[in-house]
Structure 1
Amino acid sequence: MASDPAGLLTELAPDLDPRAVAAVRVLIPTGYGLNCEAETAAAFELLGARVERVHVAELLDDPKRLHGCAILAFIGGFSFGDHVASGRVLANRLRFRLGDALARHVADGGLAIGMCNGFQVMAKLGLLPGPLTGADPSDQLAPQRVSVVGNDRLGYRDAWVRMRCDPDSPCVWTRGLDLIESPSRHGEGKLVFADDEIRAQLEAEHRVPVRYVDDAGAPTELWPANPSGSPGGIAGLCDRSGRVFGLMPHPEAFLYAENHPRWPARDDAPAPRHGLGLRVFANGLRAALQVRQAGQKPDPS
């Protein structure tokens, strides 16, 4: 399908200037078994942003590639074959070779999003949940406090799921959204916490932006609505600023209405031109522009 950034922005985010969006630089690290760069790039390009794909090796050799980047997108796949544990090898490489640059990116107002393996990496890297209130400096990577482990029902699960968004969450990516449907495809998606106090703080601060829900719209731990058994139906986390967000499902795989397995039978009126996942990325671009307008991050152009 042909791209129509101006038309999609008018429909999804009429408050955004297409010329301003065209100046937003999105960086997508690729390689080493990651495989969702095409869908993730399309999510931002359909809305008119400037996307740069860079191999992880190049980024590690030249951390300055992050300079001027408004949004960093950690994509899905199987980095390093998910040997040892999902996302562990890539997270270690990023922490020890790029940790300071990643911390500066966030401290300077940069955004980040991660889907599936990207979320697994962000969790093991410490980007998520990020600094805890009163515990960590904001200009350094936080220690790892959560992990993503094997599903309760062992084995790889590939199916569509529904998530409900928390309207009180600081997450800028889910702002104004209620229910999100997306494909979910993973074997290691259960979120676990270092201790109960960490989970309690994140819950109290509404840093669980999305939860798996059942047919009645209630958070669930039961399979198949919750494919991993993640406690409280937790499907993703955000950091304290709300600008860093990761989730196990794949909103980048629901960009067109036709992506939905039941799209011919849907009764939306009028029929949307886009998939619900695209709204997540429109929110990210809006937040990136707000950061720039506030003078927190230089214009890369």
Structure 2
Amino acid sequence: MAFKKKRGIPDRWTDYQALGKRIPGTRFIAFKVPLQQSLIRLLPAFEAFGPSELLHLLEEDKQELGLIIDLTFTTRYYKPQDLPPSVQYLKIYTAGHEVPSDSVILNFKRAVRAFLRENDGNEKLIGVHCTHGLNRTGYLVCRYLIDVDGMDPGKAIELFNRCRGHSIERENYLQDLRCGPKRSNQGMEDPEQEPVQGKANLWRARSPQTCPPRPPHQTPRLWAPSSPLLPVLPPGPLFPMPTTELLRFEPHWRRGPPLQPYSPFPYPVLPRYSWSGPSGPFPPVPLDEPQRHRTTGRAKHRQRKRH
């Protein structure tokens, strides 16, 4: 049987609350996996939850995110490049439905301890998520509270469930937390994996830039409506004079809110030109003029033969 790659929204992803609350006395905050824009387009607007929505919700609560620990076993949901430079990203591949191994638990402890050591003077949060931000996330957060902070297992589970807004569902996770042995903390102070810095600028609103003046013989690329005219050079015998305005240009990779609507065309629109000759510029060609194609003599002969 051939392996079929999963695509689209994760199963039961919309059934869970997007973001939980900060666990008191810790830096942990749990949430479900944020999705990239190609997946958000498949959802209604009120269900959208991506990296930008995550940071916006935290800003409303006056919280700042410093590190994201991704526990999913795939990279298809979003990329580290989707995060701003102020947020670090660490990937720990954790298989679902089974209790995480000792190496995964140790890597999680190392990542948390390294971040707390480097951010002792601030209150930046550690965001932890799996697919739903519940089972794998709840197990590793509670395991840290039990093994490192010495918290009672029942209290740790109850505290996580209350702050997340949902209860841990996997019975094998709960059984291991309540009755299983504590994991060793040896080697916890030696970080093995360095987090990745975000690179996106999606959360900085940037004002539209005006396209620099171009010589009139160069072809402009993409135009948007309503912009002041640039200085017009005097006509010459061989210089084409643009018959349209040189308008304000907003590149598609800028994610700030545009001050003006974009061009309705999804492709570069080249304006019409007229050539200035000795008697002055010719009138521009109408856009709605039908194109007349020449018919060769052989084609005319075939047409007459059909009739």
Alignment TM-score > 0.5, same fold: no
TM-score band, normalised by the shorter chain? under 0.3
TM-score (norm: length of structure 2): 0.26
Task: Give the number of the structure whose residues are more often strand, by fraction.
Answer: 1
TM score, norm. by length of structure 1: 0.26
